[in-house]
A and B are shown apart, each in its own frame.
Chain A
């Protein structure tokens, strides 16, 4: 798409047009309330022209001794107009601003919906903070452009059309005079916008620096204290604070002088009016009332002048944010659903348990996008249904990668992974995943209750008996009951924090709750003690619906009971066999691994003994 754009003078304009696509789209969707809002706004602005005329007439009645009752009419008309204006002011807020909030809601919905459709590689690339800032700041900027931005722009426009017209009708000569300082204003606004923008950037940068420095000083507080180096840090912070302050002041000089300068520029019109208009009134060329009306009109023109500048900056920010959001909307998941024919084929297949769980890797190689190295290198392996296979290897050996390809978290090439003899990529994603229980290393639990977390993969929270059975299977029985509210205990930030072992067992329970055909435990037992671990692994085997189990682990106790053990190194399959076969291979990676584990266990065991009988230290 980028390469195809022709190099032409239209390019910039076309780019803008493309960037604001989201903004225009939303505007179109909300055209009705926006139109109503703008209509009420027009009424307010047109009516705004009348009060000065009424005041003019009132003054003229007084000065020129017209019939007294006209004053009553003027008063009544004045009241009537403000009454309508009040209703209309309510109207444009309600229609224009409110619909902008609905548009913001829409946009946030769309954004989040899109996020849910993106694959893990996207989230590997993006930082949480950036995505959050898109959903809050950028959506808000687009919303503000639609709401306040449109409002301010329309308001300014209507004022420019209505007020000067009224003035011209009253007195063309005075109008010219009053607008004498007018050309100054666009210049003032433009200059102000430019300076504000430049200086605000600098203030923001400096604020970022100051925050980073505070962050650094507070996270490095141990080092600073260890060297008694506090004064140096404080001096740095003082300097950065001083710089921030100076930049703020230079920003304030522009910002706080803009309003008064604008006022002053318009008041030059008032000075001219007082002098020349006063002369006219004095000489009787104009009525005193006209003079009074002009005073009001000129003051009314200050706002629309300022509004032009505001509208421009609302719009610019809105377009910039709409572009950033569009970039995310343009992202596509790298996991693609198979073409329709296979879906229909799957629909004819009997229930979800139809998957048996036989897995075959056929010369599988995989490389993460952006990486130069193969994470997996020509791995071939057949795992019979209902077997337990353990994967062993150092960090970075490719165990996790291999396991994460099975639920298609990352895309594998066609023809490299087969499930029950059928290419994995031919399954419908949701059907495939519903048949796989995957427990990764990150142990993510949601800040909801325990039973809601356990029922995460089910359509509803399981019954209490099912919950109890489930917690028994993962050797969690008793522990959940001891939590403050049992299964109804809230987890996470605002609730209870579980230990690593408890979290691991909960995530396993969550995975087996929906009886998957394949269970994958990626280093999911590391924080569970050996006794609990062997109980849990035993429970998994004795289940009536036994499934294919793929277990990656560091601990020998998790592994040795497996039907088959696979040793990976740098993405390659280097050893495989049963535990007995592998430890007899002297000099093999598995044998070293086994020896190391045994010693570590002994050491830990030593600790337990030492606890019971403390050795008196001799001094």
Chain B
């Protein structure tokens, strides 16, 4: 309790430390860097921190902390631009924002969606900072209460969100989630290192697929291709309609939703080992479940933006709790942050909280101030940047292809990244066309690795408890009150989902054509699942085998039931939903394959000539042939695109994908 007596003065001391002009200037610098990095899809806190890390050594500790915290705090603020305006998940923390944010942009309400998102981010960030203030003194026992069974239960709670987001035909959502879970098992098994659906001859697959690539492939590519086929602006009306003041009002009307989702964000952030990439999905699922009128979700409901955006900034405050009091990073960016604190001469852990409480509290203040500055700037910029949605999309798309390919390449710096992006993009396109829930797929993928690891660990520890303490000892462990409470929430979540999920993500009759195309896709899925099950059955090491086998068989049952229903159902049943047969896609002036072909061409050219040369050819050809703009504009736009990507890569010190040409000829950067 004496700690609390010192907390008040320490908090004021910390404010005095951070309120110096120089320290504040570093905070603003960090915020500006964080905002700039966050805008680009696939780049986040780690990229930004690595940029400043070399300068941290020898800096004034408060200034150094302000710089780093300012940077981390606002990445989940500015990543919203890409998610809302372009339908590209700006980072793994704002994937769920795409679901309703992008439809709002299409309706011409981008300014409103952005400002609602930013004020939610601001609120979440401030709440996170407040929680951090008190929690950092008392959270130790709370965090230790979350043992592995409790973490497994929370993972299951996350998976239960599939129920509400499964779409019109729940079974299709289940199959999609199963597919996502199975894709997450590709690569070397976490426990025993057995290769799954991969071989040592294809080293790329051994590491599995990265979340950045799967997020871009499942959401961004299908949306960009679909929009590009239309040849018009993102905003259907071509203007911006309602502005940013409406967004603020929307947030105020949903104040309690924002409070609840911020609380979810803090809680998920506080528990080490859960990872932040699922928090926006849990918040989105909760938002949908707790809303009375669910019919507009997925089509541009502002609540679908407020929920996840409140949670993802709050998560950063929560995530700092275990990072600071245990010295255990909750995410990749927290790990780099820990390294940075060490360079400043401090050692995160219990004694830092106890002995350097004022320094620790400068982190809290930095977090709060950074959120205010960052969200303020973003709200100010929301309307001007939202004008992007009124530009003819054909002029925007090639730059998006460029940024996506570059972002994907950052995950492994291998041509395999581009191939993986293309492959996952194809899956995304088909999931969209045949109305399989893409959120369900992504939730499955995000949670796959941890669901497997926690399940394996709980099984082993419970077995040991059973041998040492009998049935009672085991039940004390796996069925603690905390676990039972979370499981009860999971059951409620599934129940609500099953009861009401059909209303979400559309319930009007979908376009259908012949049975053939949907059945062929269904058979392809089934074939992949069969291959996975067969592959899993050949693995010797039990710990690597059980999870893909179980999930595979469950998914296979789902596939079989769907195929039988397809056999029985008449043509025109919602089962055979096919967006190529009616609606926007069918009426688009450009074909699906020719549009996707442009992107494929960019990747193929990269494999031959390296990224920058490929980009030059691609941009010129695209602007001339597809967009049919004048030579002068073509050259200006292409040069601008190449300059942008070179500046970006140069500042961040990143390489471009090399091609076959670079194997034979040594070229100067950026052509390498």
Q: Do A and B bind each other?
A: no
